[in-house]
Structure 1
Amino acid sequence: MRLSAVLFMIAISVAQSGSVTLKTLVFPSETSNSYVELVPLKPLQLKAFTLCMRVATELSGRREVILFAYRTRDADALNVWRELDGRLSFYLSGDGVLFRVPELGALETHLCVTWDSSSGAAALFMNGRKSLTKIYKKGHTVCKGGRVLVGQDPDSYLGAFDPKQSFIGEIGDINMWDSVLSDSTIQDLVSGKEVPRGNVFDWQTTQLTIRGKVEVINREV
C-alpha cells in the first residue's frame, strides 16, 4: 500500500474515533488562595456575549459558589454564581439576573449564559436546554481592563478572597464569544460537534496561570 494511502487511512481512523483531549480544573478543597487566571484573546469590552463551561460540584444547597469572575479595578464586571438557594445567576456591575433551574451536582453540566445589550435579553442553557428569557441591563457595556479568575471571587482587583465563596469541584471547557450564539450552535457545542472557537476565550489555547491547590486533569471526551 502506498504511503499516502496509509496516512489517509490513519487520518480516517482518528476522525472516526472522535476522541478529543480536554483539560479540566479540579479544586479539591475550600481555600482562600487557590484560583486560575485566564488570559483573554481580546479585551472584554462587550455589548453581547456567550459564556460556556462544563462544571460539577457537590456543594449543592450548602453555600453560594463562584463559577466565573471578571473584576475590574472598580467593580465586579461579570460574575457567574450558584446562589445559596441553588439558583444560577450572573451579575454585570450591580444587581444580577437569577434563574431557577435544576441544581448543579456531581454529574457534569454543560452551562452557558448569554446576554445582548441592545435588547437586554439574558438567558441560560443547561446541557443545551434554554431557560426563559429575562430582560437585564439593556444598553450596558462590559468594560475592559479587568482580570478573569476561576475558583475565587475577588472583592478587590485581585484579592480579598472569601473561602466560603470559593469553588470546590471540577470545571473546564470554558469558552466565550463576543456575540450571542444561536440555540442550535449551543446544542452542537454540547454534543461535541465542530463550532466556531471562542474569540474571547478558546479553551484549547487559553493561557492559564494556576495558583494554590488546583489540579489540571487531561481526559478524553
Structure 2
Amino acid sequence: MDHTHRAYCQNVSPGGDIILCTRREEDWVPVTDEWDRLSCWRTNCFKMGINTVMIMAVLLGVSLTPSLTTQAGLSEKVLVFPYETDFSFVALIPQKEMGLKAFTLCMRVATELPEERQIILFAYRTADYDELNVWREKDGRVSFYLSGDGVFFHLPPLSTFRTSLCLTWESRMGLTAFWVEGKRSTYQVYKPGHSIRPKGTILLGQDPDKHLGGLEATQSFVGEMTDVNMWDFVLTRSMIQAWHYGHKVPKGNIFDWGTIEYELSGNVLVVDDD
C-alpha cells in the first residue's frame, strides 16, 4: 500500500499521551480510517502541521500545547482566546449527533479585532463539508454557511463589550435569523429542505479548512466567549429573550454550557465570569 500521502504517528511522551503526526514514513504507524473521526482529537493526533519548535519542545519535555483532555461544565466561566494563533481552539462534544433539520445556537461574545478582519465564531465540519459555520466577515456583516454559499446579515458590530448573539434556522421553509440582545433581524430564506450531516467536529476559535486541519491564524477568534448553548429546534422569541436576560430556559439538548463536554488546545484560558 502506498502511504506517501498519509500521516504517521508516534508516541513521544513517557506516558504515551502525546502523539505527533507528520508525513515521515520510516518506522511510523499509519493512521487508520478512524483518522477522520472526532476520536482522533481525543487520542491527541494533530493532522495540522507541527513546526520544528513545537516538536523539539515536546521532545525536551516542554509543553507548548497541552494534550487534549475531555472536561465538563463551564457554568459561570468564560473562554478567553488571548492571541491570534493557528493552534488554539476549543473542541465541543455534542450530547447528540448533529444530524439536524433545525437549530438554535446562542453565545455571548466580545472581541476587539478590527472589522476588516474575518473572525470565525463557530465551526462544524464533517470530512467533506463545512456543515455549519458562523463568521464575522471583513466588511462587518455576520454570515451563516451550510455546506456552500452563505447568507449575510447587517447586524450591530461586535465590540469589546459582550454581545448576546443567537442564530435560528429551520429546514422546512428555510427561515433563518440572527438575534442580537434579544432582538431579531429580518428573516431570510436559506437552504429550505437542507439537512445538516452528523459525525463531524465542532470547534470554537478556529475554522478547519479541511477535516481536523488547515487552521489559519488570520481567521482565528481573539476575545471572549461564554454561555454557548445549542438546541435542535427553534426557540421562541420569548425563550431567546429570556436567555438574553439570564432567565431560565430549556437546557440546550446539543450543548448546555453548564454541563458541556469540551477539550482545550493551545493557549485558551478558562476564567471566572466576573
Which residue of 114, 117, 120 corresponds with 1:66? 120
CA contact (8 A) 2:163 2:180 kept: yes
CA contact (8 A) 1:60 1:103 kept: no
Q: Work out whether 1:141 is the aligned partner of 2:201.
A: no
| 1:139 match: secondary structure | coil
CA contact (8 A) 2:75 2:257 kept: no
| 1:189 match: secondary structure | helix
Return the alpha-carbon distance in structure 2 between the equivalents of residues 137 and 97 of structure 1: 10
Which residue of 166, 179, 191 corresponds with 1:125? 179
Return the alpha-carbon distance in structure 2 between the equivalents of residues 200 and 219 of structure 1: 22
CA contact (8 A) 1:60 1:104 kept: no
1:45-124 equivalences in 2 (<5 Å): 45-124=99-178
Return the alpha-carbon distance in structure 2 between the equivalents of residues 189 and 211 of structure 1: 28
How far has the Cα of 1:21 moved from its partner? Answer: 5.0
Larger Rg: 2
Return the alpha-carbon distance in structure 1 between the equivalents of residues 77 and 116 of structure 2: 27
Spell out, residue by residue over 1:99-119, the C-alpha distance to the aligned partner (whole angstroms, 9 max, x if none).
011110001000000000001
Residue in 2 that maps onto 1:211: 265
Note the residue ranges of structure 1 that are not aligned, 5 or more in a row.
1-19
Return the alpha-carbon distance in structure 1 between the equivalents of residues 168 and 82 of structure 2: 29
In the alignment, residue 185 of structure 1 is paired with which amino acid? M
* Highest RCO, 1 vs 2 (Cα 8 Å, sep ≥ 6): 1
Residue in 2 that maps onto 1:3: none
Which residue of 19, 27, 30 corresponds with 2:81? 27
How far has the Cα of 1:62 moved from its partner? Answer: 3.0
Residue in 2 that maps onto 1:14: none
The list of structure 1 runs, each at least 4 consecutive aligned residues, that deviate by more than 6 angstroms after superposition, is none
In the alignment, residue 171 of structure 1 is paired with which amino acid? M
Q: CA RMSD in A?
A: 1.1
Higher strand content, 1 or 2: 1
In the alignment, residue 156 of structure 1 is paired with which amino acid? K
Return the alpha-carbon distance in structure 2 between the equivalents of residues 218 and 175 of structure 1: 18
Spell out, residue by residue over 1:39-58, the C-alpha distance to the aligned partner (whole angstroms, 9 max, x if none).
00000000000000000001
In the alignment, residue 131 of structure 1 is paired with which amino acid? S
Residue in 1 that maps onto 2:249: 195
